[in-house]
Amino acid sequence: MLHMIGHAIFGLIIGLVARAVMPGRQHMGLILTMILGIVGAWLGGLIGRMTGMYREGHPAGFFMALVGALIVLYVYSAVG
């Protein structure tokens, strides 16, 4: 249970940072921001591990989570 709460908090932080970095205004609430961050962190982690850039738990994971969240935010903005 604590693991899920940690993922939610990390997702919210990543989502908020991605929204702050992405130019323009995004109209979404905290729940959608958290989901964006969780999905983005998963995507960034997947890309990072598949390309061999780092292993799980490596500090570069935060950067790749942010990159993944920016990709998800861009796609969300383009579609929605």
CA angle 44, 45, 51 (to 5 degrees): 90
Q: How many domains does the chain have?
A: 1
Tokens matching residue 16 = 């908020």
pLDDT tens for 18-46 read: 999 988 888 889 999 999 999 998 998 88
Q: Are 12 and 37 in contact (CB under 8 A)?
A: yes
Q: Find the domain containing 27 and state its range.
A: 2-79
Q: What DSSP character marks residue 53?
A: S
Per-residue pLDDT, 24: 82
Quick one: 73 exposed, middle or buried, by C-beta within 10 A (0-12, 13-18, 19+)?
buried
Q: Which residue, among 42, 4, 12, has the nearest Cα to 28 in the 3D structure?
A: 12
Q: Are 70 and 22 in contact (CB under 8 A)?
A: yes
pLDDT over 90 (residue 13): yes
